[in-house]
Amino acid sequence: MGTYISLDVGTIEITWSNNHPGPDHSCLFHETDRVDIRHDWSGDDACQKGFRSTVAAVLPRIELLGHTLDRARREYETAVTINTRERRDYAEAVGEPAPSTGYLTFDEILTIVRSLRAKDLSKEIDEEDQEPKRILASKLMQSLPWYGVEEYGGRSFDLDTIFSESTSAEYVLGGFDPYTIIRLLAENPDNLDCPVTWDYGPLVSSGWAREEEFAINRRDRDCFLIVTEGGSDAVILRRAIELLRPQIRDFFRYIDMEEGYPFSGTGQLHMFIQGLVAMRVPLNVVAVYDNDAEGFAAFQKTNSLKLIPSYRVCILPELAELSSFPTTGPTGTSLADINRQSRLLTLSS
């Protein structure tokens, strides 16, 4: 059988590999999440290293990676489309009547998921019991688009894979991307403190991998490059993210300030984005313009480019506090709306 490595939420195993590290899940964790994990099956008190966090801590990270409820709905609708077509084609090939397509709706799946407590599902093998525990009755199981198919999304949906309450949950959710499964489970507030565990220790101790293969890694495709009109803007945004969203600050990158900020002004920022668009650079890029007259004009100009889906252009928001702000000009002192205005501001205590 070899040695398994898995990513689990409570007692639900959402993805696994055998005798090799498999997909890199380090994007879900911080180095401080690397802890000693004791295994009940080991028969001793020895601990092995692994990553462990919670659904609440991982949630903003997976959403930043694109695993939202909207994506979950799209994944489910895709599964319905693909498996409906394949079952219809098979029925036509063997001369059978067209199969029923009375699948559960995505909203019905959501209702089921919201009732699941991932850490309380039993892992005891009970398939021989008269009334084995399952999160869905057999008839409802048959209403899943991936019910009984040989393979979908890289896993088998043979009914023999269901032998406990927890494996029935794995079967029901198995047609979704693993990170999307975490997002779905977060719909039940009781799951927010549920452990999310990447248990790689047994693989290392068995000699199938080395500890350094599980270093924290932030892939370029997972990170966001923030580009602003001036260096001070980038410094402020970096500090704001560190203070307000510390759990995801490692996903953001900024232009290096050491040699001087290269994009001073709206024109240079626009040309930079224009160059990235022309080269189709596959990065997540966020361009931020100042909320003044020049910035607003450049914002509209840059937004008119044929941006690739991973590029976003935004402008600093209008603030109610600035709609009636004390100003001093040629006509004296007055209150003015300085949103989207080019003005020299001097703030005094």
CA nearest neighbour of 24 among 172, 225, 226, 209: 209
Q: What is the DSSP letter of 155?
A: B
SS3 state of residue 250: helix
Q: What is the DSSP letter of 152?
A: B
The C-alpha atoms of residue 124 and residue 239 are separated, in whole angstroms, by 48
Note the pLDDT of residue 349: 37
The single-letter code of the amino acid at 235 is V
Q: Which residue has the tokens 């397509």?
A: 101
Query: Both tokens of residue 41?
Result: 């099956």
- Sign, CA torsion 177/181/186/187: positive
Note the pLDDT of residue 97: 79
Return the bridge partners of 224, or none.
252, 284
The C-alpha atoms of residue 263 and residue 274 are separated, in whole angstroms, by 13
Strands 12-18 and 4-9, how do they pair? antiparallel
CATH of span 220-317: 3.40.1360
Note the pLDDT of residue 262: 64
Does the pTM of the predicted model rise above 0.75?
Answer: yes
Axis-axis angle for helices 293-303, 266-279 (nearest 10): 10
Surface-to-core class of residue 296, CB atoms within 10 Å of its CB (0-12 exposed, 13-18 middle, 19+ buried): buried
* Domain edges within the chain: 4-214, 220-317
E-strand stretches of 125-282: 195-199, 224-228, 252-254
**Could you list the pLDDT tens digit for every one of the 349 residues in the chain?**
678 899 999 999 999 998 888 999 999 999 999 999 887 655 555 678 899 999 999 999 999 999 999 999 999 999 999 988 888 887 888 888 777 778 999 999 999 999 999 999 998 887 677 678 888 888 888 899 998 787 888 888 888 888 899 999 999 999 999 999 999 999 999 999 999 999 998 899 888 989 899 999 898 999 999 998 877 888 889 999 999 999 999 999 987 544 555 666 668 889 999 999 999 999 999 999 988 888 889 999 999 999 999 999 999 888 888 788 888 877 788 888 777 775 544 444 3
Axis-axis angle for helices 69-94, 178-185 (nearest 10): 120
Q: Please state whether 333 falls in left (phi above 0), alpha (psi between -120 and 50) or beta.
A: beta
SS3 state of residue 253: strand
Note the pLDDT of residue 310: 94
The single-letter code of the amino acid at 315 is I
Axis-axis angle for helices 178-185, 55-64 (nearest 10): 130
- Sign, CA torsion 90/92/97/99: positive
SS3 state of residue 261: coil
The C-alpha atoms of residue 57 and residue 205 are separated, in whole angstroms, by 28
